[in-house]
Amino acid sequence: AKKRGQNKYEFYESAMNTVYTQKLAIEQLLRQAVEQKELDLVYQPKFQLDSGSMVGVEALIRWNSSRIGIVPPAQFIPVAEEAGLIAAVGEWVLQTACAQMKSWHDAGLEPMSIAVNLSAIQLHQEPLVPSILNILETTGLEAKYLELEITENAEMTKSSGMVEMLQSLKQAGVRIAIDDFGTGYSSISYLHKFPVHTLKIDKSFVRGISACPSDSSIIEAIVAMARSLKLNVVAEGVETDQQLACLKSIGCDQAQGYLLCAPLTADKFTDRYVIHAEA
């Protein structure tokens, strides 16, 4: 029994070491990735549900490591946050996404917004506002075409500096979307205080609406609330015609998902929506 216990202990220890070693390895490779430009962005359109027209594009980060292959953002963003790399990664994302949208506008894409995901840690790192304003100025993208997607969390709603920071972004013309809406732990009372423009319904709620309308009550409630607060509401993760029809009937404003368009590389987006776009 003693021997067995010991083996068990060793097993746990080595499993922990593996996780720890993996994280260290990812961290080290990520540092190089930032320097060696292994990071990339893909772009996923958002569509207006009543007209069907594209109204914006979300930038999503990709990392194809020469050493370990494709690492999903859900895996490396938390490592970047812990390792103090998120500021550099986040700035690169903002810069690249704004420059890309400006060049699409210049190439004839009907002016629309670019949405950039911000890590909660970025929100607490100074100087975020001057850095964003500087990026808008150097890329030439008008502030009203930048939308920041932030995820609700308890800390955010408690911080008083946060309201001021979001206010100064709003004053500059930048739009704020609450990402993964409904999955956070925070109270929704902050929606009054925060200069929020859009609510993004998390795909976990969209997945549930197979037997419309009975399974769609959460989305109905979110859409009703967005209506009364005069907020724009977007559903993410739309994969089926049934989900799309249901969202339309509920009165959701916009949708995004594999059914409508998967995230595209910049080249593919240009080819599909900028060069070959119908006049």
Binding site for ligand C2E (CB under 6 A): 44, 60-61, 72-74, 77, 93, 117-119, 149, 179-180, 203, 236-239, 257-258, 263
Q: Please tell me whether residue 139 binds Ca ion under the rule CB under 5 A.
A: no
Tokens of 87: 């500021």
How far, in Å, CA of 34 to CA of 105, rounded?
A: 27
Quick check: 180 binds Ca ion (CB under 5 A)? Answer: yes
Q: Report in angstroms how near the CB of residue 72 gets to ligand C2E at its nearest.
A: 5
Residue 44 lies near Ca ion (rule: CB under 5 A): no
Torsion from C-alpha of 256, 258, 261, 262, nearest 10 degrees:
110
The nearest distance, CB 150 to ligand C2E, in angstroms, is 9
Taking CB under 5 A as the binding criterion, the range among 89-97, 152-160, 202-210, 248-256 that sits at the site for Ca ion is 202-210
Closest approach of Ca ion to the CB of residue 14, in Å: 32
**Contact, 44 vs 262, CB < 8 A?**
yes
Residue whose CB is less far from Ca ion, 202 or 253 = 202
Q: Which residues contact 118 (CB under 8 A, 6 or more apart)?
A: 90, 148, 149, 150
**Residue 63 C-beta: closest distance to ligand C2E, Å:** 10
Residue of closest CB approach to ligand C2E = 257
Stretch that binds Ca ion, among 62-70, 152-160, 171-179, 257-265 (CB under 5 A): 171-179
Residue 152 site contact among ligand C2E, Ca ion, none (CB < 5 to 8 Å, cut-off depends on kind): none
Among 46, 96, 139, 149, binds Ca ion (CB under 5 A): 149
Q: Are 240 and 20 within 8 A, CB to CB?
A: no
Task: 160-164: list long-range contacts, CB under 8 Å, 24+ apart.
Answer: 162/123, 162/194, 163/193, 163/194
**Which residue type does 199 have?**
L
Contact (Cβ atoms closer than 8 angstroms) between residue 243 and residue 256: no
> Around 192, how many Cα atoms within 13 Å sit in the side-chain half-sphere?
3
Residues within the interface to Ca ion (CB under 5 A): 117, 149, 151, 179-180, 202
